[in-house]
Structure 1
Amino acid sequence: MRVRAVVFPGARRRRLSVADQRTDEGFFSARDGVRLFWHTERAPDPVGHVALVHGYAEHLGRHAEIMRALVEGRYTVHLLDCRGHGQSGGKRVHVDRFDEYISDLEVFLARVKEQAGAIPMFLLGHSHGALIAARYLLDRPDAVRGVVLASPYFRLKLQVSPLKILAGKLLSRVLPSLPMRNELKAEQLTRDVRIQNATRADPLYQQIATPRWYTESSAAQETVLRRATEFITPFLLLFGAADAVADPAGGREFFEHATSKDKQYKQYDGLLHELFHEPERDLVFRDVVGWLDERARGASTRVAGTR
C-alpha cells in the first residue's frame, strides 16, 4: 500500500530521483495490537533522522512537502499515521486514553532509533502531533536531540459553542466513541486555495472527533502547560500569528515557562495554522532545516524569541 502523498499539487514539485532517495513503508503493531502505518524517506548520507507526527484529523501523506525539504537537507524522515488516522487502524479520531498516543510514539521512536544509530534523532510535531510530542518529552527529555513544535495545539482558539463543549464532556462518560462532526473549515487552515480544495477532496481527512478524544486531549493540554517548567528538551516553536485553530498565546506561555537552555520561538505574521501548507512555506522549511542543522552538526545553547 503506497502512501497518499500526492493529494496536494505542490507535493509533486520536489520529487527527488530514484537515485537520490529510498522509500519504505508498512505497518507495525502497537502494544495493544492496533496496526499503525509508517512511511520513511531516506536521505543519502544523512546528517540526522526526523520523526514526524501529524495533526488532528489528517494523515502523514499531507506532509509530503516538508518531508521532501528535509530529505533535500540530508535528513531521513520517518512519518507515522496516528491511531484512528490515515491508514492506521483504530476507531477514527478516538482514544480511550491519551497515553495510547504516547505509547505508540514510544514504539515508533524505538524503531527510528534502530535505524538512526549514532546519527542525531529529532522529533517534529504539527498541531495535535506537537501536543503528543511535548507530552511525551516531559517524561523522556533525552529521547531526541531536539523537537520542532509547529502550531502546537496547547490551547484551542477555534470558537466552539459552550453547549457542544458541555455535551462532549458528558458524552465522554456515557458514549465516549460517538463520532461528532467538527467545525473546522479548510480555509481556516491555509490561505493556499489549491490545498484548501485538496483537503476537502481528501478521503483520508476526517471531519469528526469523539467525546473521549476531546476530553483526553484537553487534559493533555492542561498537563503540558502546567508542567512547562519541567520541559528541558531543546525545541523550536513555530506559530502563525493569524492562527485561528491553535492559540499562539498558549504556545507563547509554554515557551516562556519551559526551562530548556536551548529554545527558540518564531512567529510568522499573517500565516494560518498549517505553516507547512501556507504560500510562504518555503521560508518555514528553511527555518526548520536551519534549526536542525545547528543541532545536528554542533551544540547550541540558544534562547531566542523572534518574529
Structure 2
Amino acid sequence: MTMEDGHQVYVRMFHPIGKPIGHFHIMHGMAEHSGRYIEFAHALMELGYFVTAHDHRGHGETARLNGQLGHLGDEKGFYRLVEDAFEIIQHYNALKQLPETILFGHSMGSFVARRFMQLYSGHIDRCILCGTGATTALHLLGNLLSRSLCTFRGKDMPSQLMNDLSFGSFSRSVLNSRTIYDWLCTNDEEVEKYINDPYCGFVPTNQYFADVTEGLLLINKKEEIQRIRKDLPVLLISGTEDPVGLNGAGVFKIGKEMHDAGLEDVVVYLFEGMRHEILKEKNKEHVYHVIARWLNR
C-alpha cells in the first residue's frame, strides 16, 4: 500500500474460509517483521478472522521497497508508524465492512498500538498489547543521548551505542544464556530462526532510537492516556520473565494507569516462565487459547 506521504508499506493478508467474523490487525516489534506472525495469523484465521499484518517503516519488506533497514525516516518516525497503521486499518475496514476490528501490537508494536488507542480508539473495537513495557527515567536519558548522536554522528547512522544500552540489560537478564538473544524466548529453535533471519536483529539508526524513545515518553503521559475511550476493552499479555515488562511489574503498571484513566475493561494476563516473545514459546498454544477465550467472551 502507498501511504499518504508516498511511502510504500508491505502488507500481508490472511482470509478465512467463509465470511470473516472480524478484522484482526497485527503490528510487529523492533528489529523484526510481520512474516514472523504467519503461524499466529493462521490460528486467528481458524477462529474466523480476516487478518492483516504490515512491516513497519525501516523493517522487513517495507525497508526493501523504500531504502534503509533500521531507519524510520529523518523526522516524525513514531508519528508515521501510527499513521501508517491508521491508514491500513481504515483501508481494509472500508473494503471488507466487517463487524469488529481488533488491534494487536507486540513490543514496539504495542507502543504504536497504545498511541493509536489515544488518537483513534473510536476506529477499533478491542486492543491486545503483547510484551509491552513502562516508561522509566532511562528513556528520557536515551532520548537526549540519541538526539545528540543525530546531531554529531548523523540521523541515518546505525547506533551500536544505543542498541547496547537498550538491549544489553535484556540479554543479561538470562543467567547462563546461550546467545545474546535468549531473552526473547526459552525456545532455542525460535531464537536460532531470529538470529538467521536477515530482517531481524539489525542495529537501528540514531534517529530510530530518538523516534521510539520520544514515542514512549508521549504515550505514558496521563493526559494522553485519558484520551482513550473508556469502553474500549484492552488485554495486556506478557511473560513473567520478560525484561521489557519488568517481569510483569511494568505490565501491571500500564494496566493500572489505564484503569485509573477510567477504562472500564482492562485485563492483565501473565504467562508463567515465558519471556518476551510469548507467541514463539514451545507452549504457545496456551497463549493462543487465552487470546481466543478473551475474544470469545
TM-score by length of 1: 0.80
Cα RMSD (Å) = 2.2
Q: C-alpha offsets along residues 18-67 of structure 1, whole Å, 9 cap, x if unaligned? A: xxxxxxxxxx1122212110110101222111010000010011112211
> Residues of 2 paired with 1:200 and 1:293: CA distance?
35
Cα distance change, pair 279–224 in 1 and its aligned pair in 2 (3 A): same
In the alignment, is the contact (CA less than 8 A) between 2:132 and 2:244 conserved in 1?
A: no
Q: C-alpha offsets along residues 112-141 of structure 1, whole Å, 9 cap, x if unaligned? A: 212330421111100000100110110111
Aligned partner of residue 24 in structure 2, secondary structure: strand
Aligned twin of 2:157: 178
Aligned partner of residue 38 in structure 2, secondary structure: helix
Aligned twin of 1:201: 196
Note the residue ranges of structure 1 that are not aligned, 5 or more in a row: 1-27, 295-307
Note the residue ranges of structure 2 that are not aligned, 5 or more in a row: 168-179
> Residues of 1 paired with 2:271 and 2:151: CA distance?
39
> Residues of 1 paired with 2:192 and 2:294: CA distance?
31
Aligned twin of 1:280: 283
> Residues of 1 paired with 2:41 and 2:80: CA distance?
25
In the alignment, is the contact (CA less than 8 A) between 1:131 and 1:154 conserved in 2?
A: no
For residue 111 of structure 1, report the CA deviation from its aligned partner. Answer: 1.6
Aligned sequence identity (%): 22
In the alignment, is the contact (CA less than 8 A) between 1:127 and 1:246 conserved in 2?
A: no
Counting only pairs closer than 5 Å after superposition, residues 223-238 of structure 1 correspond to structure 2 as: 223-226=218-221, 227-232=224-229, 233-238=232-237
In the alignment, is the contact (CA less than 8 A) between 1:225 and 1:253 conserved in 2?
A: no
Moved over 4 A (4+): 164-167
In the alignment, is the contact (CA less than 8 A) between 2:24 and 2:49 conserved in 1?
A: yes
Aligned twin of 2:40: 66
Aligned twin of 1:13: none
> Residues of 1 paired with 2:6 and 2:55: CA distance?
15
Aligned twin of 1:81: 55
Cα distance change, pair 107–52 in 1 and its aligned pair in 2 (3 A): same
Q: Which amino acid aligns with 2:156?
A: S
For residue 186 of structure 1, report the CA deviation from its aligned partner. Answer: 2.2
2:296 corresponds, among 276, 293, 296, to 293
> Residues of 2 paired with 1:166 and 1:32: CA distance?
28
Determine if the alignment matches structure 1 residue 127 to structure 2 residue 127: no
In the alignment, is the contact (CA less than 8 A) between 2:236 and 2:268 conserved in 1?
A: yes
Q: Which has the higher helix share?
A: 2
How many pairs were matched up? 264
Aligned partner of residue 70 in structure 1, secondary structure: helix
Aligned twin of 1:299: none
Counting only pairs closer than 5 Å after superposition, residues 1-307 of structure 1 correspond to structure 2 as: 28-44=1-17, 45-88=19-62, 89-95=66-72, 96-97=75-76, 98-155=78-135, 167-174=145-152, 175-181=154-160, 182-183=163-164, 184=167, 185-226=180-221, 227-232=224-229, 233-247=232-246, 248-258=248-258, 259-294=262-297
Q: C-alpha offsets along residues 173-207 of structure 1, whole Å, 9 cap, x if unaligned? A: 34222112334432110110111111111111142
Q: Which amino acid aligns with 1:277?
A: K
Aligned partner of residue 170 in structure 1, secondary structure: helix
